[in-house]
Structure 1
Amino acid sequence: MSTRIPLILGAGQFGAANTDERVSDPAVAQELVDLMVSHGCTSIETSPFYCNGTSEKPGDHSPEKVKKSFEASVKALNGKKIRVYYLNVPDRSFPFEDTLEAINDIYNAGGFEVFGLANYMAFEVAEVVSICKRRGFVMPTVYQGVYNLIDRLTENELFPCLRKFNIKFAGYTPLAGGYLTERFFVPDASKDVPLSKFDPARSSFSWFHTGRYYPSASAVAELKDIAHAHGLTLTEVALRWLQWHSKLQPDDYGVIVAASAKEQLQTILEDSVKGPLPDAVVEACEDTWKKARGAITKYWF
């Protein structure tokens, strides 16, 4: 059975040992890929940024560096065709138009199939679209951004922008870095074991999750109790909310899911194909967002 919103395997946890990875064994990674494929999911999202790879720095979107980065990605993928090629983080130190010309050159050379943006502000998306239309460049048709039931700032201005320009959305962090799971914990409690994405010793990106989600501790705890009262897990609520009650549409690009074990991914897949949530739980999700939204200040980087 397929999901209402497509699922994409996130490979941000795949990498060499001691690089913020959670999966360093190729055999385990292959198991996860095979499981996704067995459920009809054929997209994998990855980036040289992950696991101590090369980050985007000011000036990295110069035409020369964009083309060099693309060549490095193709080499790392052993020459496999790239389906969606993202500008992962805006480089505001360099003119967008010059960057987009380089992207267009790569596209015209057959380098990738779909042009995507990630972590841009809505007005920047509109600017990119305007430049591409004026210059006849390949148009962005996918946008990747953060989205889950306690992180919905994208709904206010970004989603209307994407709908206007027919750009599909791909959402990452559907479980808020693990905060919307049965492993949920209140920070600093003596009995708690930190989630890996929140632990500075295990993740160089911990600042992102702690700043956004720690303030929602009490609200998420209340939602977890309500979920249990209806015989549901918090993980199931979060995934079913995205499938049926969020602002996502069936023709969006999808929800990016990740796991470090086959059993974990199997649960995610099974929960994602279930139907809509009970009305009382949907209402509780809305209340949780109202309590959590004060800590979410931006959806872009």
Structure 2
Amino acid sequence: MPSPPHLIFGAGGIGTTEKSFTYTWDTPEKVSELLDLLQKLNITELDSAAAYPPGNPENTETLLGQARAVQKGFIVDSKIQAYPLDVPHLNDKGIQASTARTLELLGVEKVRIMYVHAPEPKTPVEETARAFERLFREGRFEKLGLCNYDAAGLAEYVAVCEKHGLVKPSVYQGCYNALYRKSEDELVPFLRKHGIKYYIYSPLAGGFLTGKVTAAIDSGDESALHRTRWRGDSIMDAFAQAFDKPALHDGIRKLKRVCEANGGISLTEVSMRWLMHHSVLGEGDGIIFGAKTLAQVEANVAEARNGPLEGEVLAAIEGLWDDVKGAFGVGSSGGGEKVGEKEKVKI
């Protein structure tokens, strides 16, 4: 029986920014506590980026280096610096400089995966691909990854690599969860055809799948959402724009009723177990999850590892996408990765 996808900790929550409201892991000592727990849970992969945390580039990788994450046995994947957004960064100069800085901060000679954080139309694809080929030959990374490309953009990149004999992406990272399955139509078949692994972020839709946003609205008291990405001056407001819609709240209410009628299982657990055992993800794919506290880390991991779903609960979460996909315009344009293309550069 194939193994389920593996869990990867999203390092974008490490560090501090003016527009990030939770400073849980903002010192090397606190980061070390987090790493100790992750090792106990047999999670040794960290998803980082030069742009992390949102609004304060390089702070995450500075702290990971100070906490000696790689020296402690962790695999740290990274992404090319995407800031400032209006400046071309996927040319040879930008890719070389960003990679060198990441390796310096982490205190390593190479990373496992180096990603393009998001498409950048000002630089020709061939120039980008040749820059990565050079770094690959220099041994600066083991695998190339792309983030947030739609199916057409990914196909174009792969075609350029095949034409010129350049290193091809072997990992793709994008937004995918029970509320947002648009990638299943075109993108995932392309990944499978070309042997590209699928690492997904936002497994809980930025927290929307926990039910907390809908619950706050239904209670008439949204104070619990203040100073979060859902309410307030947050750099992560793209999540609110994407998921905070009537149809999606209705979907959450429907799923919650089924969960309450079946032992009170949490929406978080159902969402994570669906990804692990019932989604398009399979062996070799990855689920990038985040948390604000050590307790949340433990809980999320335990719930994700609880095994497959059954009966009414499985049917309810399987049917969630059919209930909400109209809110994303699915049915006319196919399977592009629109949620996350803007905000993933930030997170």
TM-score when normalising by structure 2: 0.80
Post-superposition shift, 1:113? 0.8
Give the 3 Å change call, closer, same or farther, for CA 143–55 of structure 1 in structure 2: farther
Give the 3 Å change call, closer, same or farther, for CA 112–56 of structure 1 in structure 2: farther
Post-superposition shift, 1:229? 1.5
Give the 3 Å change call, closer, same or farther, for CA 30–224 of structure 1 in structure 2: farther
Maintained 8 Å contact 2:4/2:281: no
**Which structure 1 residue ranges, 4+ long, deviate > 6 Å from structure 2?**
none
Q: 1:133 maps to which residue?
A: 162
Where 1:41 maps in the other structure, the secondary structure is coil
Post-superposition shift, 1:63? 1.2
Q: 2:301 maps to which residue?
A: 269
1:147 equivalenced with 2:171 (yes/no): no
Q: 1:220 maps to which residue?
A: 252
TM-score when normalising by structure 1: 0.92
Give the 3 Å change call, closer, same or farther, for CA 17–60 of structure 1 in structure 2: closer
1:278 equivalenced with 2:310 (yes/no): yes
1:236 equivalenced with 2:269 (yes/no): yes
> C-alpha separation between the residues in 2 aligned to 1:82 and 1:198?
34
Unaligned runs of 5+ in 2: 58-82, 330-335, 342-347
> C-alpha separation between the residues in 1 aligned to 2:337 and 2:124?
22
Where 1:174 maps in the other structure, the secondary structure is coil
Where 1:79 maps in the other structure, the secondary structure is coil
Q: 1:287 maps to which residue?
A: 319
Q: 2:14 maps to which residue?
A: 14
Q: Aligned AA for 1:33?
A: L
Q: 2:241 maps to which residue?
A: 211
Unaligned runs of 5+ in 1: none
Post-superposition shift, 1:286? 2.5
Deviation digits for residues 75-122 of structure 1 (CA, Å, limit 9, x no counterpart): 222335311100010011211000110011111111111100000011
What's the C-alpha RMSD, in Å, of the aligned pairs?
1.9
Maintained 8 Å contact 2:174/2:201: yes
> C-alpha separation between the residues in 2 aligned to 1:145 and 1:55?
21
Maintained 8 Å contact 1:11/1:46: yes
Give the 3 Å change call, closer, same or farther, for CA 272–188 of structure 1 in structure 2: closer
> C-alpha separation between the residues in 2 aligned to 1:69 and 1:233?
41
Maintained 8 Å contact 1:187/1:214: no
Deviation digits for residues 45-92 of structure 1 (CA, Å, limit 9, x no counterpart): 011223212354452111111111111222222335311100010011
Q: 1:161 maps to which residue?
A: 190
> C-alpha separation between the residues in 2 aligned to 1:183 and 1:92?
37
Give the 3 Å change call, closer, same or farther, for CA 188–230 of structure 1 in structure 2: closer
Deviation digits for residues 180-212 of structure 1 (CA, Å, limit 9, x no counterpart): 1153435756312217232342x2121x21122
Q: 1:299 maps to which residue?
A: 337
Where 1:274 maps in the other structure, the secondary structure is coil
Q: 1:63 maps to which residue?
A: 92
Maintained 8 Å contact 1:48/1:55: no
Maintained 8 Å contact 1:115/1:139: yes
> C-alpha separation between the residues in 2 aligned to 1:35 and 1:62?
38
Maintained 8 Å contact 2:144/2:169: yes
Aligned length: 296
Q: How does 1:31-110 map to 2 (within 5 A)?
A: 31-50=33-52, 51-52=54-55, 53=57, 54-79=83-108, 81-110=110-139
Post-superposition shift, 1:265? 0.6
Post-superposition shift, 1:17? 4.8
Q: 2:200 maps to which residue?
A: 171
